[in-house]
Structure formats: C-alpha cells, structure tokens
Amino acid sequence: MSEEISSSERKKFSRDVVWNLFAFGVMGVSGILLNLLIGRFAGADALGVFNQVFALYILASQAAVFGLHYSTLRHVSEHAESPQEWGRIVTSALALVVVVASAVTLVSLLLAPLFGRVFESPGLSVGWKLALPGLWCFALNKVLLSVLNGLRHMRAFAIAQAGRYVIMLSVLGVLLHRKAPGEELAVVLSVAEVALTVLLSLYLLRIWRPAGVSGLRAWMREHVDFGFKSFLSGTMVELNTRVDVLTLGLFLDDKAVGLYSMAAMLAEGFSQLSVVLRNNVNPLIARDVAEGAYERLQGRVKRISRGFALASFVIGGVAVALYPVFLQILGDPAFDPSFPVFAILIGGIVLASGYLPFNMLLLQAGRPGLHTGFMGLVVLTNIVANFALIPAYGILGAAAATGASYVLSVVYLRLLARKSLGIAL
C-alpha cells in the first residue's frame, strides 16, 4: 500500500475533525456552565465536593473498564473491514466489561464511608453513592464509544460525546431549580450515563448484532491480555488529570478545592482540543503501524503537531485574556484568586500542545506495557510535584506542578518513541 495519504482519507479526516470540534464546543460550553452554575447557585463548597466526586469517579471508571476499551479500539480499527470479526471483538469485550464493572461498582459502594473520612467531607460520601449507577454505565459506554471510534463513525461519536454533557447540564438545571443540596448534584453523572448507554446501544444495534460463541473465547483472552497491559496506563492518564484536585483535597478544605476546580476544569476543557485530534488520529496510527508505514506515520505526526501547536498558542492566549470576563459573569469575588491558577495551567498545556494529540502513540503502536511506563513517569512527576508544592504554595503550587507535568510528558514521549519505534517526533 502506498505510503502517501490519499485525498479521500484527508477529506474524511477533515470532516471527522470538524464534527468532533463541534462536539468539543458543546462539551466546553457545557463544562463551563456546569461549573459556573454550581459555583454561583450552590457555592464553592458544593463545587469542591462535585469535583472531588468527579475525580474519584473518573479514576474508578478505569478500574471498571479495565483497559477493555483500549483493546476494543485497537482491534476494531484493525478489523473494521470485517463485520463478522469485529462483531466478535465487541461481543467479547462487552461480556467482560459487564462482569468487571459490576464488581468495581459494588466495591465502590462499600468504600463510600471511607472516602468521606479520608477527605473529611461527609458530602463526598453522599455524592459518591449517587454517582455509582453512572459508574457502571460509564464503563460500558467507554467500550461502545471505542467501537464507534475504531469504525471511524466519528459523527456519531461526536454527537454521543456532546450529548453526555447536554444531559448533565439539563439535569443540573432541574436540580438547582429545585434547590437540591450540593452533595446531591453528583446524580447528574448517573442520569447522563444511563441515557447514553441506551442511545449508544440503539445506534450500534443498527449495524451490529451480538456474535455467536464461536471465537469469543480467543478474543476474551486477547482482551484480558491487552487490557491488563493497558489498564494501568489508562488509570494513570486519568489520575494525571485529577492528581491536583485529589491532593488539594487532602491538604485543604472543600472551598479551596472549589476555587482551584473552577480554573482547572476550564483549563482541562481547553486541553480537550488535543483529545479531539487524538480520537481521530488513534485509528490511523493503529493502521499505519499494522501496515508498517512508519514513514507515513512520522509525516502525519509532524504535520499535525506544527499546526496544532500554533492554534493552541492563539486559543490559549485568548482564553487567558477572557478569563477575567468569566469571573465577572460569575459574580462572586471569592473566585478571583483562581485567575493565576488558570494562567499557569494554560501555559503548561500550550507548551506541550503539539504532542498531546499523540500521547497514546505507544499504545496504538501495540506497546501497551511501554505506554504504561510512559504514563507512570508522567503521573509520578505530577504527584511528587503536587506534594512538594501544595503545602508551601497552595492552589498556585498545584497549578505549577500540573503544568510542569504536561511539559515533561513531551520529553518522555519523544525519547520513548525514538527508542521503541525509531520515530523522531
């Protein structure tokens, strides 16, 4: 097969990116409104509880899905032209994730009182229990979304991603109108995921039917092997985005976590621009590697990296300039100290932006163990820096530590890609 990227592939890639940028816009606006509404109508304490619940929720979801979504994405991408084979891949992955997610959800329920004591937040225990139905469905949804991603049904993928946040925002509006207690706001996670499970299932049943038992055992073994190797990397990816919030929760009160979370959630929204590209690039990386087209892969990385770095610099600068306007809209001077936090976080993301869309390169290249090591370095850097800086500098220390971890992740990725794949990023 030619090393060149065909014109039709370029056009599809561009259309897919446009759809996912649309989803990113919806998700970004919804995320801003979620934090804005909780902060304005429920207060910084409620926002702190919500974001601590959300941080634990995202981490627990990695255990609940056990890397099976990564295996699904990788293998569906490779067998996208064979409906019978990818049907077996999906059926086996879903059978496994139901078992694992059920066990993790049960353990999570038993741990609810412990979380409240560790973080000295009774509201955290209440919110955590309300989020657990969503945790179970979230694991299923990660596999279902990986199917869409692997088949490159990126329009449906984008709509589903955006729909999750629209549902969350709608349910939050109802809860705030009814003046629900702040610790109960985490139920929006459950409602959104249950609804998304139904919608994704209906869509996929139009193009896929559960496979028979033939060949499922072999795929289950493959999923477990791949999932085991990539599980820790997935956990570390999510932990890296939550280390700051969880560490602040250990050292400071809910209000301080709420102040930081306002800036951190918006900065994370900005970083999702790289995830938009990553979701579209991942299947292409897997196919390039499967075909041995490393020269094509290297050219793809360099071309996208340069353009995205420039776009991130411009968008990041605009975001920092507009943040004071956002604080005025919020209308609560208590959140004003979050501005330098936001500026520091955006700075770190911008510096690393050119390579963030490729932080799953090693995984998609069939090196799940090496990818786990890569993410382990990033998370260890983040944890050490947060524990070192938060006691002395509070929320500014958390921002500096997290920003530094973004930048150092680029150094680690380039070294590992050159050593393992012979690719100069």
At 63-82, the pLDDT tens digits run 999 889 988 988 888 887 78
pLDDT value at position 298? Answer: 76
Exposed/middle/buried for residue 228 (C-beta within 10 Å: 0-12, 13-18, 19+)? middle
pLDDT value at position 144? Answer: 95
Cα distance between residue 346 and residue 400, in whole Å: 10
Exposed/middle/buried for residue 170 (C-beta within 10 Å: 0-12, 13-18, 19+)? middle
Does some domain include residue 2?
A: no
Tell whether the model's pLDDT for residue 213 goes beyond 70. no
pLDDT for 151-184, tens place per residue?
888 889 999 999 999 999 999 999 999 999 888 9
Low-confidence winner among 8-17, 306-315, 322-331 (lowest mean pLDDT): 8-17
Tell whether the model's pLDDT for residue 61 goes beyond 80. yes
Cα distance between residue 6 and residue 346, in whole Å: 35
In the chain, % of residues over pLDDT 70 = 95
Identify the band that residue 392 occupies on the pLDDT scale cut at 50, 70 and 90.
very high
Does some domain include residue 74?
A: yes
Residue 292 Cα distances to 81, 179, 205, 369, 421, angstroms: 18, 58, 33, 20, 11
Does some domain include residue 319?
A: yes
pLDDT value at position 380? Answer: 92
28, amino acid identity? G
pLDDT value at position 113? Answer: 92
Local structure of 213: helix, strand or coil: coil
Long-range contacts of 173-181 (CB under 8 A, 24+ apart): 173/37, 176/37, 176/38, 176/41, 176/42, 181/123
Q: pTM for the whole thing? A: 0.69
Identify the band that residue 3 occupies on the pLDDT scale cut at 50, 70 and 90.
very low
Task: Average the pLDDT over 1-28 and give the result.
Answer: 71
Mean pLDDT, the chain, rounded, equals: 86
pLDDT value at position 265? Answer: 80
Closest CA relative to residue 19, chosen from 148, 115, 157, 121: 157
Identify the band that residue 2 occupies on the pLDDT scale cut at 50, 70 and 90.
very low
Identify the band that residue 1 occupies on the pLDDT scale cut at 50, 70 and 90.
very low
Task: Average the pLDDT over 82-89 and give the result.
Answer: 84
pLDDT value at position 174? Answer: 95
Does some domain include residue 266?
A: yes
Does some domain include residue 392?
A: yes
The range of the structural domain enclosing residue 236 comes to 7-421
Please, are residues 189 and 168 in contact by the beta-carbon 8 Å criterion? Answer: yes
275, amino acid identity? V
Cα distance between residue 196 and residue 328, in whole Å: 34
Low-confidence winner among 27-36, 95-104, 178-187, 395-404 (lowest mean pLDDT): 27-36
Structural domain count of the chain: 1
Does some domain include residue 1?
A: no
pLDDT for 230-270, tens place per residue?
777 667 777 777 889 889 888 888 788 888 988 888 888 78
